[in-house]
Structures are given as structure tokens and as C-alpha cells.
Structure 1
Amino acid sequence: MNRREVAAVLTYVGRIDPRLIRTDAGEARSQLDTWCELLGDVPLTTGQGWDVRNAVRKRVVASQYPILPADVAREWNAHYRDRLGRHTDPTPMADPDNPEAWRAELVATRKAVVTGRIAPSPHREVTSGEPSPRLQEMLDTVGSYVPPTVRAELAPFRPARAAREAAIAAGGPDLFGVPCERCRAAVGEPCRERSGGGVRNRNTKPRIEPHPGRVEGALAAQAQAVPA
């Protein structure tokens, strides 16, 4: 704020809290100098929710003591940090081989966010509407996030999953596609040996082969999924 704007804020403060009114010209000038010193970097209003009058009212209502310019500055700093905390820097349009231009664009964008000229930019990966046109092409090329050669190397270390994948590849049912009524294994989890008491103990060693009842359930589910 410039000096004229700070003077207008002081006039507003004196209207809602008469304790801040200074009748002596020297004291009023000194008060204005102090407020200008601390509020020179604080905007009067922004287009994204900041209004210094709201900060003044909030402080006057919350505290029994006369408001200080530092109180307003702290409210602005909190507003500043909140907006930057909700902002994710979009990729600059500047040439990445020109670090000066790249940094200048980032700084200018952040300043525009803080001063309320533009809204914070959230994570575009979460909020963007349509996926990349090349995404399906990439998925078709890769086939799976775990290549077949890697699956083969991992098979000795995860025998239950390897048995499941082998059964599916052979045209059989997904043995982990249904829950197990015996050990209470959820869909996608291997069966486990039950320690007793009728409650599944997740610390027991998983079975390579599912329980027979689960196999029957998987066969029944596969039969129902096949069109007549």
C-alpha cells in the first residue's frame, strides 16, 4: 500500500476502534509513518480473497488490545503462505536452456498467485480432464507395468502370485478373484493357514495353493461370467 492507502486504512481503524485516533498532528504523523513502514508490502485488496479491512475487523473482534500494524502484516503473511501452499508451479513456457527466463517466469507466476491476480494452480495430473492421447499407445506397447521377463525372474519369490498368473494364462479361473470363506482371505490376497479361533492371522505364512472351497468358488464365478 502507498501512503494514501495506509492513511485510508488508519481512518477505517479509527472508526471501528476509537482508541487508535490521534488528535495531535505530530502523533498522527508518527503513527502514519509506523503503519507505512510495516504495511508497505501489504496490498489493500486482491482479486482472490484478500481485503485489509477484513483483517482489521478480524483482529479488532478477536483481541481486547488496540490493533497494531504488525497484526495486519501477520494476517497478510498467513494469507500469502496459504496461497503458495495450495499452488503447484506449472511448467514455464520459457526455454529450459535459459535458466534466467525460466526462473523469471516462475517468480512472476508465484507473485501473481500471491497478489491475487490468478488463482493457485493445483496438481494438473489430478485435475486434468482427458488423458494424454499417447497413453493408450504406450500401454499397448508395454503391455504391462511388469514385463514378462521380470515376472519370470520374480516367480520363485512370490509362488502364490505365480501360480495364479499361470492358471489365468492357461485359461483357468482367477483363483484369487473371489474371497476365501475358510481363511477369510480377501479378493486378490492369497489364502493363509488359520491359527485357530476362526480368525485369520495375517502373520501366518501364505499358501501357494488356495483352499479347495475357494477353487470351487472361482470355477463357479468363471462359469457364470461365460455367456450362454
Structure 2
Amino acid sequence: MTPSQIGELLAFCAAFDRRTVGRADVLAWHTVLGAVDFDAAREAVAAHYAVETRWIMPADIMTTVRAARRDRLERHTEAEPPPGDTGDRAYRAALLAERRAIADGRAEPRPVPALPPGTKDDQPAGRVRALLDTVGNKIPGPREGAVNVLAVPCRVCHAQPGRTCTSTVNPLRRHADVHPARLEDARRAAAGLPPVDPADVQRELDRRLEASRAALAAIPHDNVIEPADGFRYPAHEEPAAS
């Protein structure tokens, strides 16, 4: 833009925001926007005041103009080089001129040409055809009997779903397999059952421990011998003499 065009652009801005325009404003704006096309800058001002009430600044115009140029270039498909072209300067110059015309808005972007209609002979076959036939179909559910162990958290090492189990001693060390309790929880989840309650597990352990103590207490005291190592054997389980 020339300084006179900058002055016209500032007058256009003043029509929206009632700013005062002086010679220093024209010189400052020309320093920043001298290389910008006048029509593109005017469109940027109009677009700004369509949605904003604050004063527009040169940076706003530069941002809008650059975005518009980038959008036009992204929607453009460059022409193929002519047959026999060796990449000489003439073609490169024409290609650069085409890009500038698209970016400046002096030419419309050329979209990607549509693919020609295919024929029956063009259709893929074999495994590719089978894969394409599944597009859009419902994703199959889990196989009968299959259990996704990583779908549930581990109540032993507290590994979250999708993460492998870790050592309870060193959490940074990951196991190649999961803890049996996690496998049991995954099987119950696959069967539609709630996870095992840790309190129930503890109660079952306490019950078994109490039953073992009761069974030991029922053994007659005179039927127990005490070997030299201090371990108490029931008489019918006395180790054979060596």
C-alpha cells in the first residue's frame, strides 16, 4: 500500500471507531502494512469490526491477511508440470506467480480433481475386499470365554485398568503376568458378577485359620511327641527313624 492508501485505510477505520488520524499515524501504519494489499487490508478491517468493538491495530490486520492467504493456498492444487518439463526457470517462475495470485486473491484456488469412476475390474479382491466389506459394520464383541484381564484394576498392587501389574515390593518393576486376584476379578466381571469384596476374603481366611486351630486343639495332647528340633508331630506322623 502507498501512504495515500494507508490514509484511506485509516479513514475507513475511523468510520467505525472515531479515531483521530494524523500524519504520524499514516507513517507508522505504512511502516508495518506497506507490503499488504489494500483490498485485503480493507476486508480485514471490515471483518474485525463485524465482531469486535475494540480499535483495530496493524497486528490484527496482518494476522487476518496472513490467515486468509494461508487458507487460499491450502485449498489450491498446483498444476502439473507440462510434459517433458525438466524444472527450468520458466516453469518455476510460472509456479511462483500462480501461488502469489492465489494468495493475493487475484485467482481462485483450484481444488483437487475428482477421481474417475471405478469399474468392476478396479475393485480389490481377496483379503482387501473382505476388510473393506467390514467398514461400517458393528464391531464384534468379546469372544465367548475370552477375558480381558487388563480391563479391571488390580486389588493387590493397585494397577489401574490398562496397566500391567507391578511388584508389591518395588512398584517400578512390572510383572509379565497379572496377580491371580486380578484374574479372578476379570473372570467375575466377564460373567457379570461384582468384584470380590476384600472383607469377604479376609473373613474366609479367618474362618479357615480358626478351623485349623480347632482341629489342632482336638488332637489329644498325649498323642503328640516333641522331637529335639522343637516341632510337634502327631504320633501317627512321627518321622521314620534314620
Identify which of structures 1 and 2 has the higher relative contact order when contacts are C-alpha pairs closer than 8 Å and 6+ apart.
1
